[in-house]
């Protein structure tokens, strides 16, 4: 590939993988360079309006993590959100052109499948039989359970240390380049 340089990249747009969505649905298309603060400011402002019932987040490639982060923030800020998640692939076609065209090399076309995600959040009940559906969760219960597990783990560690578990470990001798210290 040292004789080629990347030319243009053509990415095919992914169709919305959930049929029957309203035409006025707010779709947040998250890019790799998008700022989460800007995305969430706009999305939360829209979802707090009473007439807006659904919002969708979508992204591909390096933006997948940002999409998931935005969805989780939205679910924490606005309680009782139903969710449908769809994972798919977006096709990208890269055209590689020869650096020196006189050598007789032809242009290369490389097709890649880039992972993409589409997440629909709704204040209203969604189809529970739809693959990828998640019911609203009680976050208070989740946090209480985590605190209980953390407290039990701390008690066990303290009990082990009190029995001499951590204090009876002999110190290791530090070796540096050129001999012991």
Q: What is the pLDDT of residues 45-75, one digit of tens each?
A: 999 887 889 999 999 999 999 999 999 999 9
pLDDT at 116 over 90: yes
Instruction: Report residue 163's pLDDT band, with 50, 70 and 90 as the boundaries.
Output: low
The predicted pLDDT at position 110 comes to 92
φ, ψ (nearest 5 deg) of residue 156: -65, -40
pTM given for the model: 0.70
Measured distance CA(137)–CA(143) in Å, rounded: 11
pLDDT at 143 over 90: no
In CATH, 4-136 is 3.10.310.30: no
Q: What is the mean pLDDT of residues 102-113?
A: 87
Measured distance CA(55)–CA(119) in Å, rounded: 8
Q: Where are the domains of the chain?
A: 4-136
């Amino acid at each position: 590939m040292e004789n080629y340089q990347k030319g243009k990249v053509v990415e095919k747009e992914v169709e919305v993988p959930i049929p029957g969505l309203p035409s006025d649905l707010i779709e947040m298309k998250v890019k790799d360079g998008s700022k989460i603060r800007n995305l969430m400011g706009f999305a939360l402002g829209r979802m707090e309006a009473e007439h807006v019932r659904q919002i969708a987040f979508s992204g591909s490639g390096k933006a997948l993590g940002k999409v998931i982060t935005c969805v989780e923030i939205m679910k924490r800020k606005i309680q009782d959100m139903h969710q449908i998640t769809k994972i798919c692939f977006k096709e990208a076609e890269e055209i590689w052109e020869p650096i020196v065209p006189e050598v007789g090399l032809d242009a290369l076309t490389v097709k890649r499948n880039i992972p993409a995600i589409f997440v629909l959040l709704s204040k209203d009940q969604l189809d529970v039989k739809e693959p990828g559906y998640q019911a609203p969760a009680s976050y208070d219960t989740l946090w209480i359970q985590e605190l209980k597990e953390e407290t039990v783990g701390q008690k066990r560690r303290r009990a082990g240390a009190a029995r001499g578990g951590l204090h009876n470990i002999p110190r290791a001798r530090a070796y540096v380049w050129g001999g012991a210290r």
